[in-house]
């Protein structure tokens, strides 16, 4: 019976964490470039139950045998939450400092990102092109992280009167002055989400500036933003399903609790 407590409790914890993930997705449905998380639930290792028996053999000796009863699962847990890197819808803003990346032809599982420098000076990657110019004319994110060019340097401009070509080249007064540092990930699942729309590369997820890579095609659209790829209707449906599963496990836990109360207070009572 105690094992049933743990099984039901593990189901409640898994659904609670899934609900928290879905809530975060819905809360960021209007965040530019946000990539929705998706969860995977996994069962704990199964136990193979056997019954040990002692049989009296001839000459008074005993022989121990085992009979297989069957397997039993001991619970479930949310193994991980992985971002879904599908392309979000593109909406027009009319601001010259807003930019959106439209993925073209590339290997399956790959994606393109803007390259930025965080407060610690480390490279990070984002699909959120909602940029601005700081007091010194540097192109930054709303959090103040510097947007980098193809050489890994900060981009400084004279003002917001600039244009960005589809290949990421930045022009002022018709003259090319810089190029956006767009990085390509061969397998986006190797990136780690850090918050504020930023991703960090792991040891197995090395990033490289696109340059003239012939296997990757893309388009940068100035005056547009990529919306989040959250399907709000589906997320709400999944949240209700997770909540119902949580309630079902809760009722099972209450039933076990009532049974334990009977066993302790009634069956085990000395008269």
Q: 108-131 pLDDT, tens per residue?
A: 878 899 999 998 889 999 999 999
Question: What is the reported pLDDT for 189?
Answer: 83
Angle (CA) 173 177 180, round 5°: 120
Q: Which of 202, 139, 214 is nearest to 170 (CA)?
A: 139
Q: Which of 126, 124, 84, 106 is nearest to 225 (CA)?
A: 126
Mean pLDDT of 56-78: 64
| pLDDT class of 79 with cuts at 50, 70, 90 | confident
Q: 214-270 pLDDT, tens per residue?
A: 678 889 999 999 999 999 999 999 999 999 988 998 888 888 778 877 777 776 565
Q: For residues 110 and 229, what is the distance between their CA atoms, to the nearest angstrom?
A: 16
Question: What is the reported pLDDT for 59?
Answer: 52
Kindly tell me if the per-residue pLDDT of 7 is higher than 90. no
Q: 34-61 pLDDT, tens per residue?
A: 999 988 777 766 665 566 666 655 555 5
Question: What is the reported pLDDT for 177?
Answer: 93
Q: For residues 212 and 182, what is the distance between their CA atoms, to the nearest angstrom?
A: 11
Question: What is the reported pLDDT for 125?
Answer: 94
Q: 183-225 pLDDT, tens per residue?
A: 988 888 888 888 888 999 887 656 777 766 667 888 999 999 9
Question: What is the reported pLDDT for 23?
Answer: 94
| pLDDT class of 175 with cuts at 50, 70, 90 | very high
């Amino acid at each position: 019976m105690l094992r049933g407590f743990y099984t039901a409790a593990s189901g409640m914890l898994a659904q609670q964490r899934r609900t928290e993930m879905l809530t975060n997705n819905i809360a960021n449905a209007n965040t530019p470039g946000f990539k929705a998380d998706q969860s995977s639930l996994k069962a704990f290792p199964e136990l193979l139950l056997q019954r040990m028996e002692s049989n009296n053999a001839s000459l008074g000796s005993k022989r121990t045998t085992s009979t297989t009863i069957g397997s039993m699962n001991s619970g479930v847990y949310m193994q991980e939450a992985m971002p879904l890197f599908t392309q979000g819808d593109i909406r027009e803003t009319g601001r010259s400092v807003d930019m959106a990346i439209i993925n073209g032809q590339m290997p399956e599982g790959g994606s393109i990102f803007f390259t930025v420098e965080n407060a610690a000076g480390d490279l990070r990657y984002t699909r959120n092109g909602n940029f601005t110019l700081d007091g010194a004319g540097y192109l930054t994110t709303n959090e103040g992280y510097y947007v980098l060019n193809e050489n890994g340097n900060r981009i400084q401009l004279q003002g917001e009167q600039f244009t960005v070509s589809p290949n990421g080249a930045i022009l002022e007064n018709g003259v090319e002055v810089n190029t956006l540092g767009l990085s390509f990930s061969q397998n986006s699942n190797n990136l780690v989400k850090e918050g504020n729309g930023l991703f960090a590369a792991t040891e197995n997820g090395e990033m490289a500036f696109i340059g003239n890579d012939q296997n990757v095609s893309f388009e940068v659209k100035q005056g547009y933003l990529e919306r989040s790829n959250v399907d709000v209707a589906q997320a709400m449906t999944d949240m209700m399903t997770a909540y119902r599963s949580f309630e079902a496990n809760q009722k099972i836990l209450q039933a076990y609790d009532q049974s334990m109360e009977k066993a302790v207070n009634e069956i085990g009572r000395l008269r």
